[in-house]
Amino acid sequence: MLSAPGEGERFVRDNRTVTIKVDLPELSVLEIEFDDTFEVPPHTHDDQIDGFYVITGDVEFVSGEEIVTGGPGTVFVAPRGARHGFRNAGSSRAKVLNFHVPDAGFAERIRSG
């Protein structure tokens, strides 16, 4: 499977753009570009690993009770059951690749709004 630059299912929302690059039962890969008002509050997943690779910008991640910030090239992974969340830590848009292993219905949740 190949997902070239610019390819994928693109969903433009108020403060973010989400592009589904890969949608397999075992793995979903999404490109998320978001502004400084976007935040995913701390939560857990019992059915998947949630991973991130920062492409541009600075992203603040919640890891359990800790807050860590990473710039381009940073990898953050939340194992199953781990409390995590993220937000843009800068004033310009940030972009991450977001991986879910397995997908566990995540790509479909993006499609449904």
- Provide the edge-to-edge strand list for the sheet that holds 75-78: 9-13, 16-24, 27-34, 94-101, 49-56, 75-78
Q: What is the mean pLDDT of residues 30-37?
A: 97
Name the pLDDT band for 2 (thresholds 50, 70, 90): confident
Question: Can you give the pLDDT at residue 113?
Answer: 82
Superfamily of domain 17-111: Jelly Rolls (2.60.120.10)
Q: Is 33 helix (H, G, I), strand (E, B) or coil?
A: strand
